[in-house]
Amino acid sequence: MSLFEKRLLRAEARGLGSKLWRVSWIYVLLLCLLSAVGYVALYSAAGGSIRPYAGGHVLRFGFALLLMLGVAMVDIRFIARLAWLGYAAGVVLLAAVLRFGHVGNGARRWLAIGSFQWQPSEMMKIVLVLALAAWFRRASWERMGNPLFLIPPALAVLLPVALILKEPNLGTAVITATIGGTVFLGAGLRWWKVALLAGLLAIAAPIVYHHLHAYQKSRIEIFLHPERDPLGAGYNIIQSKIALGSGGVWGKGYLHGTQGRLDFLPEKQTDFIFTLLAEQFGLVGSYAVLGLLMLITFWGLYIGLRCQHQFGRLVALGLSTNFFCYVFVNLAMVMGLIPVGGVPLPLVSHGGSAMLMVMIGCGILMSVHVHRDAEFDDAAETG
């Protein structure tokens, strides 16, 4: 038995009690508060009824919370050893989507397991963070300056991005690339290299636009000029802006929003749920929800700062970036700052698969916190 395995056994022998004591219960409380906001919004979205959204939301979150705490108990070193295996599984599932996936709205993004449908691209974002963190865990400044050292992790980012683009799912592909780039920066990649890459992407933007699907081009054009088709493709964003503005400072009151109550607001239980909250609780309520979302993001970064090993720091950075991307894309979308892309607001929007993957990511982040002072045995891992 290796020294690494002996240490794992000794850690498990201490029992779950000590690990539960090390859980960041403030972080758990913040997640519960955000889920409660989701319950309030979904109850309103159903016209003041627990069905069909709010009741299921509570049950799903309860299960996901237990799953998160279970993942938090898993030794972060064990997760690190499985990182590349998880990445390989994610790539296989993305490839399976292109062959066997369910088609919806012109895209093949979902795998069906009975009546349950989920997007492997959501899982891919998490396992990509783990794989990159495992690769960069022992990277020195000299190795970060070596292009040959950077080629394998760069390909590890480009492969899932290419598969996600093939679905097609431009929004998730961009988010996946952003998460990968953030981990590169956290590992020590020079800023000028990132700036150079951003410049190349800007130059390639017209070429990329030329190869977009017709519906993707339509989203960009409607984003720029929604008034051209106010009753068609531009309807969603126009109604969203009306609802956001009509809430004023204090809102119209709970269950009294006209845009949502009269069904003018589209997808009010999923993509545009923040607009529903803004109409009923106004600017003050919107800032409160936004503050809670940012507090959860920053708490994840704080967990990374407290971690004593590089793997945990990079995992915390990548998973916090993933959560932030959910929030940023959803809010920017409903405000008309970016094209509508179908990204839910985490733990608030209706839906099970997105909540499940977000909570698994939070569980891994909590494992980083519980095992923040873990010592990695490099000899056991390489030998």
Whether residue 154 lies inside any domain: the answer is yes
Which is it for strands 107-113 and 116-118: parallel, antiparallel or unpaired?
Answer: antiparallel
Whether residue 68 lies inside any domain: the answer is no
* Bridge partners, 111 (sequence order): 118
Domain that holds residue 329: 84-347
C-alpha distance from residue 75 to each of 130, 325, 335 (Å): 14, 27, 41
Nearest to 38 by CA among 353, 268, 279: 268
325-371 pLDDT per residue, tens: 999 999 998 888 888 777 899 999 998 788 999 999 999 999 999 99
How many domains is the chain built from? 1
Whether residue 30 lies inside any domain: the answer is no
Q: For residue 10, is pLDDT > 70?
A: no
Distance of alpha carbon 269 from alpha carbon 260, whole angstroms: 10
For residue 127, the surrounding DSSP H or E stretch is helix 120-136
Whether residue 216 lies inside any domain: the answer is yes
pLDDT of residue 326: 93
87-134 pLDDT per residue, tens: 999 999 999 998 887 776 656 778 877 667 788 999 999 999 999 999
Residues 6+ apart with CB under 8 A from 347: 31, 34, 35, 37, 38, 61, 355, 358, 359
Average pLDDT over residues 68-92: 96
Tell me the backbone φ, ψ of residue 232, rounded to 5 degrees. -120, -115
**13 CB neighbour count, 10 Å cutoff:** 7
Distance of alpha carbon 24 from alpha carbon 31, whole angstroms: 11
Whether residue 370 lies inside any domain: the answer is no
Whether residue 109 lies inside any domain: the answer is yes
Q: Which amino acid is at 33?
A: L
3-state secondary structure 79-100: HHHCHHHHHHHHHHHHHHHHHH
Q: How confident is the model at residue 135 (pLDDT cuts 50, 70, 90)?
A: very high
C-alpha distance from residue 364 to each of 69, 113, 304, 312 (Å): 9, 24, 12, 9
pTM: 0.89
Whether residue 273 lies inside any domain: the answer is yes
Average pLDDT over residues 320-325: 96
Distance of alpha carbon 14 from alpha carbon 66, whole angstroms: 21
Whether residue 220 lies inside any domain: the answer is yes
**193 CB neighbour count, 10 Å cutoff:** 15
Where on the phi/psi map is residue 88: left (φ > 0), alpha (ψ -120 to 50), or beta? alpha
